[in-house]
A and B are shown apart, each in its own frame.
Chain A
Amino acid sequence: MRRDIVLAGLVVFSLSLGACRRKQVPVAAVPLTPSTASAATAATGVDRSQFLRDSIERARTDSLARLASTGDAANLRTALEAAVRFDYDAAEITDDGRAVLDAKLPILRTNMSVRVRISGHTDSRGSDEYNLALGLRRAASARKYLSDRGIAVDRIDVVSFGEERPAASGDDEGAFEQNRRAEFEILSGADALRMPR
C-alpha cells in the first residue's frame, strides 16, 4: 500500500514538473532542495489520490447504504452480495470495507434465514499457495466483522480461492485492486428478503 502511495506521489510530482515546463518556469528556480520538493509534492499526491479514491468509494458505499434502507428485494440482494476490498497483502477491514459490511448488517439481522458464503480472493502478485491462505484470512476477517456485530457465525461459510478466480484480468493496479476482495454469495433465504425496519 505504501508503495502505491509513493507511486501516486511520484506521478503527481512528474505531472507538476511537466506543468512547470509548460509555464516556462525553470525547475532550478524552485526554492526547495530536491528532497524537500519531492517530499512536499508526494504529500500533496497522497492527499489528492486518496481524496479521489475516497470519493469514489464513498459514492459506492453511500449507494449501498441507500439500497439497504430504501431499496426493494433486488437492491437488498445487491447490498448483501457487494464485495469488500482489501489493501495489498492485507486482510484488515478498511474504512471502505467497513461501510460495505455495515450495509449488510441490518439486512442480515432482519432476514434470519439468510446464510452466506464469503470467498476470499487475492491479486496475482504473491505466490499461488500463500495467496490461498491470504484469501482465507480476508474471508475470515469479513466474517469476524459481521459476527462481532451479532450475526451468528454458523450463518456464514468462508472459503478461499486465492488468485485462482480473478474478477479482472490484467497486470495493472486497476486489476489488482478489483481482485483483492471478499465476495458474498447467498446460500439460502434469498427468495423473500424483507426490508430492515
Chain B
Amino acid sequence: MRRLLQCLVAFVAYGTIAGAQPGVRLGLMYGEGGARPGIYVLPVAGAAGDSIRAIVMRDLDFGDRVTVLSKNSALPAPVGAAAIDYRIAARLGINGVVQIGPAPGGVSMALYDVGGKQVLQRALVPLPAATNTAAWRLAVHGASDLCEEWISGTRGIAATRFAYVADGRIWLVDSDGANARAITTAGRALSPAFRPDGQAVVYATLEAGGSAIRVADLRGASRQVLEPRGLNISPTFTPDGVAIAYAHGDDFGTDLFVIPASGGAPRRISIGRGTDNTSPSFSPDGRRIAFTSGRSGRPDVYIADEDGTNADLLAALSSSSQGYRSSPDWSPDGRAVAFQSQLAGRFQVMVISLRDRVVTQLTSDASNEDPAWAPDSRHVVLSSTRSGVRQLWVVDTETGRARQVTNMPGARLAAWSSRSGS
C-alpha cells in the first residue's frame, strides 16, 4: 500500500512535467499491476451539491484514468483535512479524496492524499450563479478536468463538446451527452469540424445545385465561405485556425484546396489527376496532411506535405483489409492517425502509430466509422451501429472501454472540440 501512496504523490509531483507532454501514459503506470488510483468524491453541500458531485464523479469515470469509488459512504464528511479518517479510507481502497464545497462565486475544491494524510491541492473554481445551465455545467466539467490533472498529471476532457450530423443538421452536445442542440436548420449539412479555439464549426451543406462550405458560431449564426458551385465537402480548419482545407470536385475529379477562413482565393494542395481526394486532417504543426484518395484505384489513406507533395500510403496493405480505407483523423499530440478500414464488409476504426507504423484495431463490434480524437489523444469518438442504429460512441484507446454519447438515431461524422471550448 505504501508504494501505491508514494506513486500518488509522485504523480502529482510529476504533473507539471506531464502537462507539457500530452499522451504520456501515466494512468496505467500507476501502482502495482497497473491499478488505477481509487478516488472518492465526498458529498457536496449546497443546493446544487448533488448535481455537482454526480457530474464530477461521472467525468472522472469517463476519463478512464481513475477508479471512482461511488459506493463507499462510510467516510464522514470532513470539516478539515484532520477530520478525514485516512485509516478507514485506505482500508476501503481509496487513494485520494475529493472535497468540494460552496465558496463565494463558485466552489472550493481540494484533493487529499490518503497515504500522505494531507491535502495535496486546493483551488477555487468559479461557477456561474445560475445552476444547471449549459455554462454552469461546462464550468463544473472544468472542475472535473482540473481534478483529473491533480490526480493523473493529465488534464481531463470533460469540458469539451462534440459536433455531429443527425437528421441533416449539425448538432452540438456536451462531452457527457447532455445539452444536445442543433445549430443549423433543416437541410443537408455534413462534416462539421471545430475551429481550434472551439468557438466555431465549419461544415458542408448539400444544396440543389452544388455544395457550400459554411462557418457557424456555437449559437448557430453562420456565414458562407464557399458558395454552392460544384462539390465542396469535408472541410477542416488548419491548426492555426486562419484557413480552411476542403475537397472541391468538378468534372476532373475531386482535389484538396485551402482557402482563408475570412474568404479569398483557394489554393490547390492535391493533384489527383482525375481521382477523388477528400477528408483532409492536419498534423498539429500544420506541416503534414492526411487524407482519403482513390489514386491507386481504390480509396486509401495517404499522408503528404502540407503543399500536397511527397504523398505516401499511410499503412501498408494487410491481408485482412479489403482495401477500402478512409476518413483519417490526426491525433492532437501528432503521434497517431485514426482511420476506418473495411473488414469483412464492415468499417472498423484503426489507429496507426506514426513512430513505428504499427496498426491497432480499435473496434470489432458491428460497424464503426468517422473517428475523431479527443484533446487528450487517448479517447476517440466514432459512429457505431453496435446498439442497432448508428450513434456516437467514445472509445478509450488504452482500455477499449466504450460509452454511448448520443441518443439520436443516425448520429455520425463527429468532431471533438478542444479543451479551450470551455
Contact = CB atoms under 8 A, between A and B. Distances in A.
Nearest to B234: A129
Interface string A148-188: 00000000011111001000000000000000000000000
B191 interface: yes
Contacts of A158: 251
A130 B299 contact: yes
Contact of B249 (A128, A136, A143, A144): A136
B279 interface: yes
A127 B249 CA distance: 16
Contacts of B247: 129, 133
B347 A132 contact: no
B326 interface: yes
B104 interface: no
Nearest to A144: B251
Given A136-B254, A159-B208, A129 B188 contact: no
Interface in A118-147: 125-130, 132-134, 136-137, 140, 143-144
A117 B327 contact: no
Interface in A44-69: none
A165 to B, nearest CB: 8
Contacts of B294: 130, 133-134
A126 B347 CA distance: 9
Interface string B237-267: 0000000000101110110000000000000
Interface in A77-93: 89
Interface string B333-364: 00000001010010100000000000000000
B210 A159 contact: yes
A159 B209 contact: yes
B276 A130 contact: yes
B232 to A, nearest CB: 10
B278 A130 contact: yes
Given A89-B298, A132-B233, A133-B233, A127 B210 contact: no
A113 B391 CA distance: 47
Interface residues of A, number: 22
A132 B327 CA distance: 13
A130 B279 contact: yes
B66 to A, nearest CB: 36
Nearest to A143: B251
Interface string B34-67: 0000000000000000000000000000000000
Contacts of B342: 125
Contacts of A125: 342, 345
A140 B210 CA distance: 13
Contact of A132 (B208, B253, B278, B298): B278
B251 A130 contact: no
A129 B210 contact: no
Contacts of B209: 117, 157, 159
A159 B232 CA distance: 11
Could you say which of B210, B247, B278 has the most chain A C-beta atoms within 10 Å of its C-beta? Answer: B278
Contacts of A127: 279, 292, 299, 326-327, 340, 347, 369-370
Instruction: Tell me which of A140, A157, A161 has the highest count of chain B C-beta atoms within 10 A of its own C-beta.
Output: A140
Given A132-B231, A136-B254, A158-B251, 19 more contacts: A127-B327, A127-B370, A128-B190, A128-B369, A128-B370, A128-B413, A129-B191, A129-B233, A129-B234, A129-B279, A130-B279, A130-B327, A132-B211, A133-B249, A133-B254, A136-B231, A136-B250, A143-B251, A161-B206
Interface of B: 188, 190-191, 206, 208-211, 230-231, 233-234, 247, 249-251, 253-254, 276-279, 292, 294, 298-299, 324, 326-327, 340, 342, 345, 347, 369-370, 412-413
For the complex of A and B, the 4 pairs showing the least CB-CB separation, nearest first, are A133-B276, A133-B254, A127-B326, A136-B249
29 contacts: A89-B298, A125-B345, A126-B326, A127-B292, A127-B299, A127-B326, A127-B327, A128-B191, A129-B190, A129-B233, A129-B247, A129-B326, A130-B294, A132-B206, A132-B211, A132-B231, A132-B234, A132-B278, A133-B253, A133-B254, A133-B276, A134-B294, A136-B254, A137-B276, A159-B211, A160-B206, A160-B231, A160-B249, A164-B188
